[in-house]
Amino acid sequence: MCDPQPSTSSSAGDSASAGQEPSVPTHVSRGHASFGDRLAATALNRSRLCVGIDPHPGLLDQWGLPATVDGLESFTMRCVEAFGTTVALVKPQVAFFESYGSRGFAVLEKAIAALHEAGTLVLADAKRGDIGSTMAAYADAWLGETSPLRCDAVTVSPYTGFGALEPVLDLAERQGQGVYVLAATSNPEAETLQSARIKRSRGPQRRDERRRNDSHNADHGDSVAQHIVDECATRNQLYRRKTGSRFGNIGVVVGATLGLPTQGSDAVRKAPDLSALNGPVLLPGVGAQGASADDVRRLTTHVEPLAFPNISRAILKHGPDIGSLQKAVEANAQDYPGMVLE
């Protein structure tokens, strides 16, 4: 973690927390369609799913492939051929490529280029999070115009403070790319941190505030997860106001299993209110982790056009045959017939 870069202005997250509106970079122009608008448009002609490329050693073995760079490349390029022309968003899990070192990154670069050539959007599931110049370097690595790893969007972690994400948020907004911020993840270990209550930050009015008196939350504060969603909503609101975009670039990751009883317990984690987001939502936890299409709809009533179920294992288990993988995509996509752009 490097020292923060010198700055003469407050970050978006810090400004919002202080009760001031954050500012979208003045060089944002109408020349770039927002990532949210591009994502919604791409989904009109493709399956509205996010399918992961997760070359886990167990899956390589299931496909009859060795846990080597050659096996990694064979697995990955079969996924590219199966998904590149069928789904709107493909999400390589970066860690599985990193584990093979430079040759693994070379396979990932090849896959990103091939997916772009096929016309699909690519989300790097890198979950980067740091401060200052280091965060700026991560932004350049995954979104920079000259980077061989350049994707349409990247996942990031906000737990060094939302304001520390400024370099990647700024770059995404300048170029019409996406950032998915971890907000309420589906793993049970996340509950203690993400459900913790903090002082409410100022942001766009949410549906839950319009629906009832706000005195309860004023006393008890928002969850950390809700705070993250609200910070993203504020960025999107300002970006849309400046550019005229229908949707913003900044999205969130929210587990589709939220609202369901925790395994071995009757406890239920409350999902954050997404009604003011106006940006993309990635929903892991569908299929193998127990969430259904109905659970996705329940969580995303007000953000359906940009709500993408993330389905990986339930599709990848049908490999290595490319036709079987494509049939699995089609079968899963049929579970979301009502989720269309109006």
Cis peptide before 320 (omega within 30 of 0): yes
φ/ψ of 260, rounded to 5, equals -100, 150
127 is catalytic: yes
- The four Cα atoms 140, 142, 148, 150 give a dihedral, to 10 degrees, of -110
Q: For the chain, what is the largest distance between any 2 Cα atoms, rounded to a whole number of angstroms?
A: 59
> Using H for helix, E for strand and C for coil, what is the string for 159-192?
CCCHHHHHHHHHHHHHHCCEEEEEEECCCHHHHH
Cα separations in angstroms, 77 against 55, 108, 111, 172, 180: 11, 10, 7, 27, 25
Within the chain, where are the H helices? 12-17, 35-42, 57-62, 69-83, 94-98, 101-118, 132-143, 166-175, 191-194, 207-211, 215-220, 224-243, 293-299, 313-316, 322-333
Q: For the CA atoms of the chain, what is the radius of gyration?
A: 19
Out of 91, 110, 127, 199, the active site residue is 127
Q: Are 279 and 232 in contact (CB under 8 A)?
A: yes
Catalytic residues: 127
